[in-house]
Amino acid sequence: MIRPAAGGAAQAPEALSVVGRRMRKVDGLAKATGRARYTDDIALPGMLHGKILRSPHPHARILAIDTSRAAALEGVHAVVTGRDMPTTYGIIPWTPDEHPLCVDRVRYVGDGVAAVAAVDEDTANAALELVEVAYEELPAYLDPHDAIAAADGPFIHEPRKPGRNGNVTKVVKLAFGDVEAGIAAAREEGGVVVEGDYFFEGTTHTPIEPHCAIGLADASGKLTVWSATQVPHYLHRELARVLELDPAMVRVVQPPVGGAFGGKSEPFDLEFCVAKLSMITGRPVKILYTREEVFYSHRGRHPFHMRYRTGARADGVLAAVDAEIVMDGGAYASFGLVTTYYSGQLLTAPYQMPAYRFHSTRAYTNKPACGPKRGHGSVQPRFAFEVQLDRIAEALEIDPIELRRRNALGEGTRTVNDLRVTSNGFLECLAMVEDASAWRRKFRRLPYGRGVGVAGSTYISGTNYPVYPNDMPQSAVQLQVDRSGRVAVFSGASEIGQGVDSMVAYVVAEELGVPLDHVRVFAGDTDFTPVDLGAYSSRVTFMLGNACIDAARRVKRQVQKVVAEAWDAKPQEVLLAGGLAVRAGDTGTQMPIREAFNLAEAAFGALGATGSYDTPKDVHGSYRGATIGASPAYSFTAHVAEVEVDPETGFVDVVQIWIAHDCGRALNPVLVEGQMEGSAYMGFAEAIMEEQIFKTADQGRAGLHNAPSLLDYRIPTSLDTPALRSLIVESIDPEGPYGAKEAGEGPLHPSIPAIANAIYDAVGVRMNALPFSPPRVWRALQAEAARTPAARSAATPAAVS
């Protein structure tokens, strides 16, 4: 097993022959030609179709459920309710507050109440209409402040301890250094203290593929569940626990996933329902969510109400940061305990903070549960904080890029909350976007209506501690070499479109010298693959990459040893590359890699190895909560956004975003750029368009989603998307595979504040609430015009020279 402390996996670039090249994805052709088989493409003999009855009320007691008429309908094979699966579950073991189907209470419009399996979807839908549920409606909370204020109840969940507020999931208060002294010092010494209130609107993931699952309980008592999940291992555990099965009798298969973005990173009702319905009927059962159900299942970005107080000295160096955050969690905890920590813990880089304090509260509300979305928990505070920095820069008349430079944390250091930072390419990121965007010619120099803005950020490459406490590796692979020279890799990781199967192939091809198309990656089946904890928190390349190196080098050492003996050379003189074993310094001495493998198999028996990786466990602070946010390595990002604001309509056209991202090393630059563009796109969508609006009681249907369809929920198409320019920075992390760090989530963060700061540069209004939609920008402009009748247009600076 590779543990980072045991020595890095980084390697000089000249020694690499596969890693670093621009390559196709190994599954690219199958997906581009429509041959990939997703979960909904699977049809099993005798398969039934399931549907879930959902609550029409945001908050109600279930008094009685009568399923007899539904069960009697021709074509219906089984009906289940919450009482058939009474065990609670939750992705975080400390907050199990969900049932597969509600037992005695519904907590949001869309909460599952009963499920049917029938010969087809129409029959299943007809059966749902025959299920009779008697509800007693309860007061609904749609605003987190109202939920918190109701300290005496009624509560959305029973308090875990008597006397606590059952409407609160988690409160985190942490302080590092003396914040008040820092604020006072900033005030007294000619510096500045900036205060601001910010609102980050909730947004959802909108993957192309809706959630889908198939359950099959066979005659031997074994349960197989196929699911469009990004966490097959956690699903495996929870299925066994909730359905009271021996985990050894449960198999989870994860077919290719059509987009997830965090929205499929915990168990969902449909997975338990297809399993239970199959256990009852003995037939395979499939449930495919409608798009509306995808919106209600949600687990998307939490709405955050944030208040920041930031002090800086006269030279722009930060003195203190103080944050108070109220998070709107929706009906269930989901990852909320972690989200509450992340809301504060992940803000402490890329800038040095001498003093920092945050107080975050996650409240339950009667709306779809919020959870992790790309950039989990840290995108919202990053928006507020980077706008604060822009205000500080303006107040102190320091260029905002220069201000960020002066505060940069550096490499090989610790943050104020004791996160260990290894490699750090943030300064290079800043320099790259500054140059590429022609920042100095543009900032505060473009004509009224046009502007540029900058922002920076950091993100984790996985978490040092897994979701459930254990001492086993976080990631593992098994590798097996065939006599034809082909290498099979059994990988526990989840391919969700991000390219993890390709990454596995690149690493193995690099280490064993086989052609890329001779590496076969088998993944996503708990019966055949070792455990990887899942595709979340940007952990996979870092952890699985290291596990692949570990396994491949075990085989490589055997091959080198046996070939060295044949050549009367030293093992390290045997190079494996390009389908050959070659003697270093004597390239005339070589043999096909297949022959080298055959020699090794003859000497050692069947050729294969396992490899694993576990995170460093001794590199965090000693305070309670210090492990949350601790990562083996951090990525860094800087964006410059250029916008054109139509002051008459408030429409913001984001013309271009320059994205510089320190990913450690780009194992395949094409995929890194894809992640950077996809992230910046998603941030742009949240900044400009996305809005989760729920009806209030005054509007007749409290908690009803206003736009649970892609016709009404606003996300950008390719036509709406700005030009995106990706600039890769490689800081070569000492512990990452070949120096690699994450690239999938970090590059989202700065989009939003960079656009907000660009809008300010363009038209002089601060957008403190998302989205920066035309009506909001227009209202802000109206308010600004009312405040300062001599609008900035009167004093338009000189155009770009």
Partner 1 sequence: MEDFQYHAPGSVDAAVSLLRDAEDGKVVAGGMSLLPLMKLGLAAPGGLVSLGKVSGLDGIADRGSEIEVGALCTHAQVAAAEIVRERIPALAAMAEGIGDAQVRNRGTIGGSVAHNDPAADYPAACLALGATIATDRREIAADDFFLGMFFTALEEDEVITAVRFPVPTRAGWAKFPNPASKYAVAGVMAADGPAGVRVAVTGASGDGVFRVAEMEAALASSFEPASVAGVSVSAEAMLSDDAAGPEYRAHLVTVMAKRAVEEA
749 and 460 in contact (C-beta within 8 Å)?
no
Q: Which is nearer to partner 1, 126 or 416 (CB)?
A: 126
CA nearest 352: which of 443, 425, 416, 297? 416
36 and 647 in contact (C-beta within 8 Å)?
no
Q: Which is nearer to partner 1, 180 or 712 (CB)?
A: 712
Taking the C-alpha atoms of residue 655 and residue 643, their distance in angstroms, rounded to an integer, is 5
Distinct helix (H) and strand (E) counts, the chain: 19, 28
Minimum CB distance to partner 1, residue 765 (Å): 15
Q: Which of 222, 589, 716, 768 binds partner 1 (CB under 8 A)?
A: 716
Q: Does 291 bind partner 1 (CB under 8 A)?
A: no
Q: Does 573 bind partner 1 (CB under 8 A)?
A: no
Q: Which is nearer to partner 1, 419 or 688 (CB)?
A: 688
Minimum CB distance to partner 1, residue 722 (Å): 14
CA distances from residue 622 to 110, 351, 416, 590, 662 in whole angstroms, order as listed: 42, 22, 13, 54, 29
Q: Which of 157, 445, 553, 714 binds partner 1 (CB under 8 A)?
A: 714
Q: Does 713 bind partner 1 (CB under 8 A)?
A: yes
Single-letter amino acid, residue 507: V
Q: Which is nearer to partner 1, 717 or 801 (CB)?
A: 717
DSSP 276: H
CA nearest 673: which of 685, 656, 660, 683? 660
Q: Does 689 bind partner 1 (CB under 8 A)?
A: yes
Q: Which is nearer to partner 1, 490 or 694 (CB)?
A: 694
Choices 179-187, 380-388, 409-417, 707-715 (CB under 8 A): range interacting with partner 1: 707-715
Site string for partner 1, 482-521 (x = CB under 8 A): ----------------------------------------
Could you check whether the bond before residue 592 is cis, i.e. omega within 30 degrees of 0?
Answer: no
CA nearest 739: which of 510, 541, 578, 489? 541
Q: Does 793 bind partner 1 (CB under 8 A)?
A: no
Q: Does 798 bind partner 1 (CB under 8 A)?
A: no
Angle of helix 540-567 relative to helix 593-604, nearest 10 degrees, comes to 80
Q: Which is nearer to partner 1, 68 or 782 (CB)?
A: 782
Structure token pair of residue 328: 């709107």
Q: Does 783 bind partner 1 (CB under 8 A)?
A: no
- Beta strand pairing status for 212-217 and 285-288? antiparallel
Block residue for tokens 């621009």: 22
Q: Does 28 bind partner 1 (CB under 8 A)?
A: no
Q: Does 527 bind partner 1 (CB under 8 A)?
A: no
Q: Does 693 bind partner 1 (CB under 8 A)?
A: yes
Q: Does 171 bind partner 1 (CB under 8 A)?
A: no
Choices 109-117, 188-196, 322-330, 701-709 (CB under 8 A): range interacting with partner 1: 701-709
Site string for partner 1, 747-776 (x = CB under 8 A): --------------------------xxx-
Q: Which of 712, 793, 797, 800 binds partner 1 (CB under 8 A)?
A: 712
Q: Which is nearer to partner 1, 51 or 420 (CB)?
A: 51
Minimum CB distance to partner 1, residue 145 (Å): 22
Q: Which is nearer to partner 1, 482 or 720 (CB)?
A: 720
Quick one: CA dihedral 384, 387, 389, 391, positive or negative?
negative
Q: Which is nearer to partner 1, 205 or 236 (CB)?
A: 205
Taking the C-alpha atoms of residue 613 and residue 27, their distance in angstroms, rounded to an integer, is 25
Q: Which is nearer to partner 1, 709 or 796 (CB)?
A: 709
Taking the C-alpha atoms of residue 733 and residue 664, their distance in angstroms, rounded to an integer, is 5
Structure token pair of residue 31: 């997906």
Q: Does 75 bind partner 1 (CB under 8 A)?
A: no
DSSP 98: B
Q: Does 149 bind partner 1 (CB under 8 A)?
A: no
- Beta strand pairing status for 212-217 and 192-200? unpaired
Q: What is the DSSP string of 404-455?
A: HHHHB--SSEE-TT--EE----HHHHHHHHHHHTTHHHHTTTSPTTEEEEEE
DSSP 769: B
Q: Which of 691, 696, 721, 791 binds partner 1 (CB under 8 A)?
A: 691
Residue 534 burial (C-beta neighbours within 10 Å; 0-12, 13-18, 19+) = buried
Minimum CB distance to partner 1, residue 505 (Å): 36
Q: Which of 707, 769, 785, 791 binds partner 1 (CB under 8 A)?
A: 707
Q: What is the DSSP string of 285-299?
A: EEEE--HHHHHHH--
Q: Does 41 bind partner 1 (CB under 8 A)?
A: no
Q: Does 711 bind partner 1 (CB under 8 A)?
A: yes
Q: Does 443 bind partner 1 (CB under 8 A)?
A: no
Count, residues near partner 1 per rule CB under 8 A: 24
Minimum CB distance to partner 1, residue 652 (Å): 11
CA nearest 688: which of 633, 579, 767? 767
538 and 744 in contact (C-beta within 8 Å)?
yes
Q: Does 699 bind partner 1 (CB under 8 A)?
A: no
200 and 687 in contact (C-beta within 8 Å)?
no
Q: Does 448 bind partner 1 (CB under 8 A)?
A: no
Q: Does 718 bind partner 1 (CB under 8 A)?
A: no
729 and 660 in contact (C-beta within 8 Å)?
yes
CA dihedral 314, 315, 317, 322 (to 10 degrees): 20
Q: Which is nearer to partner 1, 547 or 702 (CB)?
A: 702
Q: What is the 3-state secondary structure (H, E, C) of 186-252?
A: HHHCCCEEEEEEEEECCECCCCCCCCEEEEEECCCCCEEEEECCCCHHHHHHHHHHHCCCCHHHEEE
205 and 261 in contact (C-beta within 8 Å)?
yes
Minimum CB distance to partner 1, residue 716 (Å): 8
Minimum CB distance to partner 1, residue 799 (Å): 23
SS3 label, residue 755:
helix
- Beta strand pairing status for 112-118 and 48-54? antiparallel
Q: Does 695 bind partner 1 (CB under 8 A)?
A: no
Q: Does 470 bind partner 1 (CB under 8 A)?
A: no
* Beta bridge partners of residue 707, listed in sequence order: none
Q: Which is nearer to partner 1, 68 or 649 (CB)?
A: 649
Taking the C-alpha atoms of residue 610 and residue 488, their distance in angstroms, rounded to an integer, is 12
Q: Which is nearer to partner 1, 739 or 771 (CB)?
A: 771
Minimum CB distance to partner 1, residue 692 (Å): 10
CA nearest 676: which of 655, 662, 656, 686? 662
Q: Which is nearer to partner 1, 317 or 689 (CB)?
A: 689
Q: Which is nearer to partner 1, 63 or 693 (CB)?
A: 693
484 and 779 in contact (C-beta within 8 Å)?
no
Q: Does 655 bind partner 1 (CB under 8 A)?
A: no
Minimum CB distance to partner 1, residue 778 (Å): 6
Site string for partner 1, 609-648 (x = CB under 8 A): ---------------------------------------x
Q: Which of 779, 783, 797, 800 binds partner 1 (CB under 8 A)?
A: 779
Q: Which residues bind partner 1 (CB under 8 A)?
A: 648-651, 689, 691, 693, 706-707, 709-717, 720, 773-775, 778-779
